[in-house]
DNA sequence: GTGAAAGCGCTAACAT
DNA sequence: ATGTTAGCGCTTTCAC
C-alpha cells in the first residue's frame, strides 16, 4: 500500500494538517518541523494523492483543451501554446480530439464524457450557434477560434474577415486579378470559411474586380491534400487563374505543391497566399506569404480568461469577447 | 450546489448503490428502476463527480503523455495517434510538454508534478540511462522513441540504426557519394542522433565510401531552422556535397528549403532524404523521400501496453521491448 | 435486484 | 505555528 499523509505525519511526529500545510506552501512553519516532514516524505517515498486532494478541494488543477485535430500544424501550434501557458500557471491540460464531429463536440459542450477538469478551452468547428446556446456544461468554458458565438461564453476570436481581406488585397495590389478562393464556403453561418470568404469578396469589390464563380473552390477539408487536389482539378478543367488564396496555410501549401508539380512557377505564374502563419510556411519553397492570425496571443488569452473564471467564485462579470490582431507576413510566394 | 448521487437516489426513490450501479453498467436492474433513475438524472442535470469516483476507485481514467514538444510535426502526429488510441479505450490523455529539459523529464519520471494519471507514456530525449534506472515513479510507465533503455520499463523503440542505414544506402545507390549527415551525434549514449549516425556510417562502410568529417554536421537541434542554417553554413564554407541525409524530416525540409534558396536543384544537384515520414514531406517541392518509422504503430502499442499494465493487478510479467518496423518511402527528392 | 454503512486520503474550519 | 474534527461524493463489501 502506498503511504498516506497520515503515515508521514506519524513518522514526522506532527499532525496531518501540518503535512498538508507543507505541501501547500503554507509559509509559517519551523525549519525543524519542515525538515522532519521532508525526511519522512523521503523515507516513505510519499506522493500526494491527487484524487483525494481534488475531491476535498473541489478542484482538479486540470483544464481541458478540445480541438478537432492535433496533427494539423495550426492546432499543433495552438495546443503547444495552450499547454505552455497552462503549465506556467500550474495547470495541467487534458487534450480531447473531436475530429471535428458534431456529436463529439456536443459531448465536450455538455460534459457527457464525465468531466475531470475545472474548465475547458474549446475550438468547435461543427457546432451551430444553437448548439452552443443550449449547452449544459457545468464548468467554465472558453471558446476560441473561428466562429463568433455571441453571448453565453467567453470567446477569443480570429480576425477572419479582416485577415482575408488583407490577404486578397495584397494579391490584388501585386497585379493579380484571377484569384482562387481555395476552401471558401458561401454561408450565413459564422464559420471561418464563410468569414474569410467575405473578406475575399470585400477586397475584390473594393478593387472593382469581378468575382468569377469558377474561382470559388469549396467547401473542402482544410488540409494539404484537399488543397492539392482542388488545384489539380482547376488545372485539368482549364480554369485560368494567376493567384491562389488558400483560406488556411495547409490549403495554400497543398496548392503550391501541386502547382509546382504541374510546372507552374510560384509566384511567377501563380502567386499564393495562406492564412495562419504556421511554421511550415517559412520553409516551403518559395516561402509562403500568409496572415499571422495571432495563435499565441489567442492561446494565452484563453488560458488567462479561464484562470480568471476559475479563480473568481462563480460570479457574473458578463462574458468577454476578444478579437486577435492580424498581420500580413510577406514572403516569397507572391 | 451541484447535485450528488444521493440526490438522484432520493428523487428516484432508490439507494445510492443502485444509482452507482446504473452508471457503472451493472446489468441486473429492473427497467422501471432504470427509467426512474434516468428521469432523476435528467431533472437534476446530474453529472458524476469524477474526483470522488477517482478517490474511491483508486483510478483516474487518465494517462499522461510526456513529449518534448507539441508543435513539432513528428510529435504532433505521434500525440494525435496516442490520444486517438487512448480515447478508443476510454482513457483521457493529459499532455505534458517537457521542452526536452532534463529537469522537466526527471519530474515526469519521479512524479514530482503530482500525478493525476494512472500511467504515463513518455518520450524522453534528455535523460541518461542512469536517470531512468533510478526512477521512483509509482505508476506504470511506457517509454517510447529514440533511446534504448533496457530493463526497468516497457519500451517501444524506433529502428534508428536500421532506418538510417536504409536511407543512406538509398542515396548511395542513386550514385551519391558525398552525403551530409545532418543532425548527427557521435556518442555512445543511446540517443536517436547517435543511432541514426551509426546507421549512416554502416551504410557508407558497406559501400566502401570514405566518411569525410566535413560532412558530419551536429549536434544541432532537430528542427527546420537548424537544418536550413547548417546547410547555409556548408555552402558558405565551400564544402562540396551531392546529398543530404536529414536525421529527421524537419532537418531535411529545412535543408531542402535552403538549398533551393541558394539556387541548388533538388534532386539534380543535391539529393535529400529525411527520417520520420511526417505528412508535411508529402507536400514539399519536391516531395521528400524519407523513412517511415512507425509512429502510428508505436502509439498504438504504447497505449496497449499501458492499458495491460493498468488492467493486470500489479503483477510481474517482466518488461516488454518492442521495435517498430521501418520502410523507405521513395518520393522525388532523390 | 437493491440497501446500509464504512471508508478512500485529503482539505478546511476552527481552536489553540 | 500546529492540532482536531468534519466532511468532499463516490465505490465497495456485505446483507437482505
Task: Tell me the CATH number at B34.
Answer: 1.10.260.40
Reported pTM? 0.94
Mean of pLDDT values over B237-266: 97
Which tens digits make up the pLDDT trace of B262-293?
A: 999 999 999 999 999 999 999 999 999 999 99
| Contact assessment for residue A45 and residue A3, using Cβ atoms and an 8 Å cutoff | yes
Q: Are residues A108 and A129 in the same domain?
A: yes
Q: Are residues A5 and A86 in the same domain?
A: no
Q: How many domains does chain A have?
A: 3
Q: Beta strand pairing status for B243-246 and B179-182?
A: parallel
Closest by alpha carbon to B301, among B152, B98, B69, B86? B86
Nucleic strand C under 7 Å from the C-beta of A20? yes
CA A324, CA A308: separation in Å to the nearest integer?
19
Q: Are residues B258 and B279 in the same domain?
A: yes
In a domain, B143, yes or no: yes
Averaged pLDDT of chain A: 92
In a domain, B331, yes or no: no
B14 DSSP 8-state letter: S
Q: Are residues B102 and B183 in the same domain?
A: no
Shortest CA distance from A263: residue in chain B:
B285
**Per-residue pLDDT for chain A (334 aa), expressed as one digit of tens each?**
678 888 888 888 888 888 888 888 877 888 888 888 888 888 888 888 888 988 888 889 999 999 999 999 999 999 999 999 999 998 999 999 999 999 999 999 887 665 689 999 999 999 988 899 888 888 899 999 877 676 789 999 999 999 999 999 999 999 999 999 999 999 988 899 999 999 999 999 999 999 999 999 989 999 999 999 999 999 999 999 999 999 999 999 999 999 999 999 999 999 999 999 999 999 999 999 999 999 999 999 999 999 999 987 555 678 999 999 999 999 999 9
In a domain, B95, yes or no: yes
In a domain, A330, yes or no: no
Between B43 and B221, the more confident residue is B221
Nucleic strand C under 7 Å from the C-beta of B27? no
Kindly tell me if the per-residue pLDDT of B1 is higher than 70.
Answer: no
Indicate the range of A62-66, A145-149, B69-73, B80-84 predicted with least confidence. Answer: A145-149
Q: What is the pLDDT of residue B315?
A: 59
Q: Are residues A195 and A287 in the same domain?
A: yes
- At B73, phi and psi to the nearest 5? -50, -40
- At B140, phi and psi to the nearest 5? -55, 145
Q: Which of residues 33-62 of A touch B (CB under 8 A)?
A: 45, 47-52, 54-55, 58, 60-62
Contacts of residue B69, Cβ cutoff 8 Å, sequence gap at least 6? A80, B75, B97, B99, B100
Residues of A in contact with B222 (CB under 8 A): none
Distance B115 CA to D11 C1' (A): 21
Q: Are residues A16 and A76 in the same domain?
A: no
Residue from the list A73, A94, A228 with its beta carbon closest to the beta carbon of B92: A94
Q: Is A267 exposed, middle or buried (0-12, 13-18, 19+ CB in 10 A)?
A: buried
Q: Are residues B149 and B64 in the same domain?
A: yes
Q: Which of residues 165-224 of B touch A (CB under 8 A)?
A: 224
Q: Are residues B194 and B252 in the same domain?
A: yes
CA B14, CA B10: separation in Å to the nearest integer?
6
Q: Do A96 and B95 touch (CB under 8 A)?
A: no
Nucleic strand C under 7 Å from the C-beta of B210? no
Of the pLDDT bands very low, low, confident and very high (cuts 50, 70, 90), residue B2 is confident
Q: Give the domain range for residue B169.
A: 160-292
Mean of pLDDT values over B26-31: 82
| Contact assessment for residue A297 and residue A325, using Cβ atoms and an 8 Å cutoff | yes
Number of Cβ atoms within 10 Å of the Cβ of A183: 30
Nucleotide nearest to A27 (CA to C1'): D1
Residue ranges near strand D (C-beta within 7 Å):
A 13-18, 21, 26, 28-30, 32-33, 52, 55-56, 58; B 1-2, 4-6, 16-17, 20, 23-24, 48-49, 52-53, 55-57
Task: Determine the straight-line distance between the first and last CA of chain B, rounded to whole angstroms.
Answer: 65
Residues of B in contact with A288 (CB under 8 A): none
Q: Do B70 and A49 touch (CB under 8 A)?
A: no
Residues of A in contact with B83 (CB under 8 A): 70, 95-97
Of the pLDDT bands very low, low, confident and very high (cuts 50, 70, 90), residue B157 is very high
Asked if residue A286 has a cis previous peptide bond (ω within 30° of 0), the answer is yes
CA B280, CA A225: separation in Å to the nearest integer?
10
In a domain, B333, yes or no: no
Distance B147 CA to C3 C1' (A): 55
C-alpha cell of B67? 513529449
Q: Are residues A252 and A129 in the same domain?
A: no
In a domain, A331, yes or no: no
Between A148 and B31, the more confident residue is B31
Q: Are residues B113 and B230 in the same domain?
A: no
Contacts of residue A163, Cβ cutoff 8 Å, sequence gap at least 6? A196, A199, A275, A291, A293, A326
DSSP B195-222: HHHHHHHHHHHHTT----GGGEE-S--S
Strand C, CB < 7 A, residues 309-328 of B = none
Q: What is the pLDDT of residue A289?
A: 98
Q: Which of residues 257-286 of B touch A (CB under 8 A)?
A: 257, 260-261, 279-280, 282-285
Q: What is the pLDDT of residue B269?
A: 98
The set of strand D positions with any atom below 7 Å of a protein CB reads: 1-13
Q: What is the pLDDT of residue B316?
A: 63
Kindly tell me if the per-residue pLDDT of B181 is higher than 70.
Answer: yes
Q: What is the pLDDT of residue B129?
A: 87
Residues of B in contact with A70 (CB under 8 A): 70, 76, 79-80, 83
Nearest chain B Cα distance for residue A208, angstroms: 34
Nearest chain B Cα distance for residue A165, angstroms: 26
Task: Tell me the CATH number at B188.
Answer: 3.40.50.2300
Q: What is the pLDDT of residue B110?
A: 84
Nearest chain B Cα distance for residue A211, angstroms: 29
Q: Are residues B165 and B286 in the same domain?
A: yes
C-alpha cell of B53? 469516483
Which tens digits make up the pLDDT trace of A132-151?
A: 988 888 889 999 987 767 67
Q: Are residues A33 and A64 in the same domain?
A: no
In a domain, B330, yes or no: no
In a domain, B261, yes or no: yes
Q: What is the pLDDT of residue B189?
A: 86
Kindly tell me if the per-residue pLDDT of B113 is higher than 70.
Answer: no
Task: Determine the straight-line distance between the first and last CA of chain A, rounded to whole angstroms.
Answer: 65
- At B96, phi and psi to the nearest 5? -120, 130
Q: What is the pLDDT of residue B144?
A: 95
A92 touches chain B (CB under 8 A): yes
Amino acid at each position: 500500500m502506498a503511504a498516506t499523509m497520515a503515515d508521514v505525519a506519524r513518522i514526522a511526529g506532527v499532525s496531518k494538517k501540518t503535512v498538508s500545510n507543507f505541501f501547500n506552501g503554507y509559509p509559517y512553519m519551523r525549519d525543524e518541523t519542515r525538515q522532519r516532514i521532508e525526511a519522512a516524505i523521503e523515507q516513505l517515498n510519499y506522493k500526494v494523492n491527487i484524487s483525494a486532494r481534488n475531491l476535498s478541494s473541489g478542484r482538479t488543477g486540470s483544464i481541458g483543451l478540445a480541438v478537432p485535430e492535433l496533427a494539423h500544424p495550426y492546432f499543433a501550434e495552438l495546443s503547444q501554446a495552450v499547454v505552455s501557458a497552462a503549465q506556467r500557471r500550474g495547470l495541467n491540460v487534458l487534450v480531447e480530439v473531436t475530429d471535428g464531429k458534431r456529436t463529439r463536440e456536443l459531448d465536450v459542450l455538455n460534459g457527457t464524457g464525465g468531466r475531470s477538469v475545472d474548465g475547458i478551452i474549446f475550438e468547435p468547428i461543427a457546432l451551430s450557434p444553437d448548439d452552443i446556446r443550449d449547452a449544459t456544461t457545468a464548468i467554465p468554458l472558453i471558446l476560441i477560434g473561428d466562429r463568433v458565438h455571441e453571448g453565453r461564453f467567453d470567446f477569443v476570436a480570429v480576425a477572419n474577415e479582416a485577415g482575408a481581406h488583407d490577404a486578397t488585397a495584397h494579391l490584388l495590389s501585386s497585379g493579380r486579378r484571377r484569384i482562387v478562393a481555395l476552401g471558401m464556403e458561401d454561408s450565413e453561418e459564422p464559420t471561418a470559411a464563410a468569414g474569410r470568404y467575405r473578406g475575399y469578396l470585400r477586397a475584390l469589390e473594393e478593387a472593382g474586380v469581378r468575382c468569377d464563380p469558377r474561382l470559388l473552390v469549396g467547401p473542402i477539408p482544410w488540409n494539404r491534400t484537399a488543397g492539392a487536389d482542388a488545384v489539380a482539378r482547376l488545372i485539368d478543367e482549364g480554369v485560368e487563374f494567376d493567384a491562389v488564396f488558400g483560406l488556411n496555410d495547409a490549403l495554400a501549401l497543398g496548392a503550391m505543391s501541386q502547382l509546382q508539380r504541374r510546372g507552374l512557377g510560384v509566384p511567377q505564374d501563380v502567386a499564393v497566399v495562406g492564412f495562419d502563419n504556421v511554421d511550415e510556411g517559412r520553409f516551403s519553397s518559395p516561402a509562403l506569404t500568409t496572415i499571422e492570425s495571432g495563435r499565441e496571443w489567442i492561446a494565452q488569452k484563453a488560458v488567462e480568461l479561464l484562470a480568471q473564471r476559475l479563480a473568481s467564485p462563480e460570479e457574473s462579470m458578463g462574458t468577454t469577447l476578444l478579437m486577435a490582431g492580424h498581420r500580413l507576413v510577406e514572403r516569397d510566394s507572391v
